[in-house]
Amino acid sequence: MNETLIQALGFVALGLNLCASSTVNDNRMRGIICLSCLIFAVHYSLLGALVAGLNLFVNSFRALVSVKYKGMHVFLLFLIVQIGMSVYFYSEPRDLLPAIASILSCYALFIAQGMRMRIAFLMCTLVWMVNAVLVGSYGGLMNDLFNATMLSITIFRLKKQQKIQIQTN
Residue 89: closest CA among 49, 142, 116, 32: 49
Please list, in sequence order, all residues whose beta carbon lies within 8 angstroms of the beta carbon of residue 60, skipping any fewer than 6 positions away: 33, 34, 35, 36, 37, 38, 41
Give the structural domain span for 19.
3-168
Predicted structure pTM score: 0.91
The model's pLDDT over 18-34, given as tens digits with 9 standing for 90+, comes to: 998 877 777 888 889 99
Q: How far apart, in whole angstroms, are the C-alpha atoms of residue 30 and residue 137? A: 23
Domain count, the chain: 1
The model's pLDDT over 123-148, given as tens digits with 9 standing for 90+, comes to: 999 999 999 999 999 999 999 999 99
Given a cut of 90, whether residue 5 has pLDDT beyond it is yes
**What's the pLDDT at 20?**
86
Neighbours of 83 (CB within 10 A): 14
Q: How far apart, in whole angstroms, are the C-alpha atoms of residue 32 and residue 28? A: 6
Given a cut of 90, whether residue 60 has pLDDT beyond it is yes
Q: What mean pLDDT value characterizes the chain?
A: 93
